Every structure is written in C-alpha cells, then in structure tokens.
Amino acid sequence: MIPLFDKKLLRLTSLAFIVPSSMLVGYGLGYLLDKVFSSQSIRMVGLFLGIVAGFYELVKEILKYNKNLDEKGN
C-alpha cells in the first residue's frame, strides 16, 4: 500500500504531464486532419486547442488538490 505522502507526491508529479500530453494529442489530431483534407494549418489549430485544454485541465486539478488540502487541514 502506498503511504499518504507518496500518493500526494504522485498526484503532483502527474500534473507535469498534463499540458505536454494535451499538446501532443491536439497536434496529432491536427496532423491527421491535415493529411485527410490536404491542408497545412489544421495542425496549428489542434496544437493551440491542445494547449488550451491542457492548461484548463491543469488549473482544474490544482484547484481540486487545494480544495482537498483545505478540507483535510493539511
């Protein structure tokens, strides 16, 4: 079983992967759509949407973590 401190540490370190993974997914989907529609700009739109989605998810997770800390008094 993982101690409580280690769970918090794992949760915080997972935050470092949210934005890069969202960027990668957005760019990848944009790249595929570029190939399907023979375009050059959809991948940049996908990258931008990935960045926005990544930061949104990051802020949401940080707020959830802070709310849990306030409720537990840690």
Tens digits of residue pLDDT in 4-55: 667 778 888 888 999 999 999 999 999 999 999 999 899 999 999 999 999 9
DSSP state of 74: -
- Report domain extents, the chain: 15-72
Say which residues have a Cβ less than 8 Å from residue 65's Cβ, sequence separation at least 6: 11, 12
Closest CA to 21 of 65, 60, 51: 51
Say which residues have a Cβ less than 8 Å from residue 43's Cβ, sequence separation at least 6: 27, 30, 31, 33, 34
Tell me: pLDDT of 74 over 60: no
Tens digits of residue pLDDT in 56-71: 999 999 898 888 777 7
**Whole-prediction pTM value?**
0.80
CA distance 62 to 64: 5
| pLDDT at residue 68 in the model | 79
